[in-house]
Amino acid sequence: MIRTIFIRVDRVLSPQKVMRNEQRRFSLGCRRSFCFPDNIHSGGHTIASGCLRFEGLDIQCQDMLIIHERRTLSIACCRDKDFCNENLHPALPPLRNSASVPHSTRPHYCIGVEQDETYFTPGETLKDSTQWSQSTGSGSSFPMVEITIARQIEMVKQTDKGRYGEVWMGKWREEKVAVKVFFATEEASWLKETEIYETVLLRHENILGFIAADIKCTGTLTELYLITDYHEHGSLYDYLTSTPLDPKAMLNLAYSSASGLCHLHMEIFGTQVKPAIAHRDLKSKNILVKKDGTCCIADLGLAVKWFSDKNGVDAAPKKLVGTKRYMAPEVLDKRLNRNHFQSYLMADMYSFGLILWEVARRCVSEGIVDKYQLPYHDLLPTNPSCKDMWEIVCRKKLRPALPSRWRSDECLRQMEKLMTECWAHDPASRLTALQVKKTLAKMMESQDITI
C-alpha cells in the first residue's frame, strides 16, 4: 500500500494567526489512514500537510509537477525514505512563470508551494478561465487549481446519487459548480475519470468542462472530489422528461451531442496529441443540457483511450461495462473485439442511436408529442437483466418502435433514418460520429438554423 505524505505552502495576502504543530506535521500523519491538515500562517505563507494511505493517490503529486503560465506553483517530491520531505524546501516561483520542475515517476512524499490569489485577475470568472484554457488546448479548465478551489467550495444541495457516490451543486466565489463526490472505495473510478478529463486537447464546448480533482479529508472520512461546470437543466433524460421540443430544439440537442461525441472519438495530431476516446456508457442520463439548449457529454468514468502509435486499448479485461439498456448487441453477446478500437466506437454509436430516438419522440409534429420513455420501455422490465436485453436486442433483433407520424414530417423522417443507421445490428454498417454530425449539420441548414 502506497502512503503519500504531502505538505502544501500557500502565499496569503493577510496572515492573521500563527498555529504550529511540527510533531503532527512530520510524524503522526503517516501513521493513520487519513490525512491531517495543519494550518501554519507565517511570513505570508500557509503550510498544510497530511497523509493519504490509498494506493494510487500519487497522481496528485505527479499532476502538480507542471508549472503553467497560468499557475504559479512549485512542488518537490521524494520517495527514498520515511519522512524524506522534511528536508524539502520548494520556493514560490515568479508570477506567470512557465518553467517546469523535475518529474518523479513515483513520488512517495512531497512538499508543494503555491500562490493562492494569482489564479484569477480582478473580475475574472470560472468561465473566463475556461475559455482561456480552451485556447491553450489544455485538458482541464485550470492547471492544478484543485487546492485553491476544492477547499473553498460550499456544498449547497445534493442533486443525484449513484453506485460511485453523490453529485452536489456547490458554490465557489458565488459561482455554481458541480461536485461529484466518490466514496473512498471508488478510488479507482475517481482516478480513471480524472485521468480522462485531464487528457490533452479534450476540452470542447460539447464535453462537460472539467475544473479540478481533489481529496478532502475530514476526521475519519476521505472524500474524492471531481469538480466540473454546473448545468442547471440537469441531464438530457431530465430535460426530455419535462420539455417538449420543436424541430430547432431537437436538432440543437442532437447536433451538439454528436459534436461532443465526434470530438471524443477523434484522434488529434500536432505538437500535442489527443488520443481517440470511446465513452462506453452513453445514455441520456450521461449527457447534460446547457442553458442555451445545447448538450455536453459527461460521465467519462468508463471511457477508454487509444493511441495509434501504441496500437493498444487501455481497457480492463472485463468486457461487459455500461448500462444494460443501452448496450450494443456485440457487447451483450460478448463478441466485441477488444483488440480493435473501432469496435468500441461503434458500440458508442449504437447507444447514440437510442439517444436520438429519445430526443425525436419529444419533438412536436402535427400537434402531437409522445410522452418521454426510455428505449425498449414496452419490451423490457424497469431494470432489465443482461439476459432480458440479449433476448430482445440479439436474438429477436428488435429496436425501439418508430411512431408513424414521423414519416409525414421531413425532419423527423430524416432523424428516423439517422437513428436506424446508428443502431444497425452489424457494427460495420453503423454511421460514425463524424457522419452523424455532418448529417445533422445539413438538416440544421435546411431548417435555417445557425450552428
> Does 207 lie in the same domain as 193?
yes
DSSP 146-195: HHHHHTTPEEEEEEEE-SSEEEEEEEETTEEEEEEEE-GGGHHHHHHHHH
Instruction: Enumerate the active-site residues.
Output: 281
Measured CA to CA in angstroms, residue 47 lies from 41, 228, 323, 422 at distances of 7, 27, 44, 54
Which of residues 230, 256, 282 is at a domain's end? Answer: 230
Q: Are residues 48 and 153 in the same domain?
A: no
One domain for residues 388 and 274: yes
Could you say which DSSP state residue 372 is in? P
CA distance 153 to 230: 13
Total count of domains within the chain: 3
Range(s) of the domain holding residue 3: 1-114
Query: Residue 185 maps to which CATH number?
Result: 3.30.200.20
β-strand partners of 227: 179, 212
Using one digit for the tens of pLDDT, what is the confidence trace for 272-299? 889 999 999 999 999 999 999 999 999 9
Instruction: Return the C-alpha cell found at 132.
Output: 482561456
Task: Print burial letters for 39-63: b (CB count within 10 Å at least 16), e (below 16).
Answer: ebbeeebbbbbbbbbbeebbebbbb
120 inside domain: no
Instruction: Examine the domain organization and report whether 173 and 272 are in the same domain.
Output: no
Indicate whether 77 and 145 sit together in one domain.
no
In a domain, 124, yes or no: no
Same structural domain, 135 and 167:
yes
pLDDT tens track for 355-379: 999 999 999 998 999 999 999 999 9
Q: Assess whether 314 and 372 both reside in one domain.
A: yes
Residue 403: give its domain's CATH number: 1.10.510.10
Instruction: Tell me what pLDDT residue 281 has.
Output: 96
Is residue 442 assigned to a domain?
yes
Q: Is 256 within the bounds of a domain?
A: yes
Determine, yes or no, domain membership for 270: yes
* C-alpha span between 199 and 195 (Å, rounded): 7
Domain boundary among 80, 114, 148: 114
Burial of 323 (0-12, 13-18, 19+ CB in 10 A): middle
- Grid cell locating 140: 482541464
Look at residue 85 and tell me if it is in a domain: yes
Distance in angstroms (rounded) separating the CA atoms of residues 254 and 123: 35
| 240 and 221 both lie in a single domain | no
User: Using CA atoms, how far apart are residues 335 and 319, in angstroms rounded to an integer?
Assistant: 9
Task: Give the separation between CA 355 and CA 377, rounded to whole angstroms.
Answer: 13
Write the DSSP assignment of 311-334 as a string of letters. TEE---S----S-GGG--HHHHTT
Beta bridge partners, 73, equal 114
> Do 391 and 314 sit in the same domain of this protein?
yes
* Residue-by-residue pLDDT tens, the chain, 451 positions: 444 455 555 444 433 333 333 332 332 233 333 333 334 444 545 454 444 433 334 434 443 333 333 334 455 666 667 777 777 766 655 554 434 434 334 333 444 444 444 345 555 666 565 555 544 444 544 444 555 576 788 999 999 988 889 999 999 888 899 999 998 888 889 999 999 999 989 999 999 999 988 887 776 778 899 999 999 999 999 999 999 999 999 999 999 999 999 999 999 988 888 999 999 999 999 999 999 999 999 999 999 998 777 766 777 666 678 999 999 999 999 999 888 899 999 999 999 999 999 999 999 998 999 999 999 999 999 999 999 999 999 999 999 999 999 999 999 999 999 999 999 999 999 999 999 999 999 999 988 887 7
Do residues 187 and 253 both lie within one domain? no
Residue-wise pLDDT tens digits, 230-274 = 999 999 999 999 999 999 999 999 999 999 999 999 999 888 889
Q: Do 257 and 433 meet the contact criterion of CB atoms below 8 Å apart?
A: no
CB 182 within 8 A of CB 190: yes
d(CA 113, CA 90): 6
pTM of the model: 0.73
Cβ neighbours of 200 (radius 10 Å):
14
Nearest alpha-carbon partner for 173 in 159, 152, 156: 152
Report how far residue 399's alpha carbon sits from residue 402's, in angstroms, rounded to the nearest whole number: 9
Residue 22's contacts (CB-CB under 8 Å, 6 or more residues apart) are: none
The answer on 217 and 192 residing in a single domain is: yes
Angle between helices 341-361 and 247-265 (to 10 degrees): 170
Cα–Cα distance between 121 and 172 in angstroms, integer? 15
Domain boundary among the residues 189, 213, 230 is at 230
| Residue 58 and residue 102 in one domain | yes
Assigned domain for 121 exists: no
Residue 119 placed within a domain: no
The span from the CA of 241 to the CA of 372, in Å, is 5
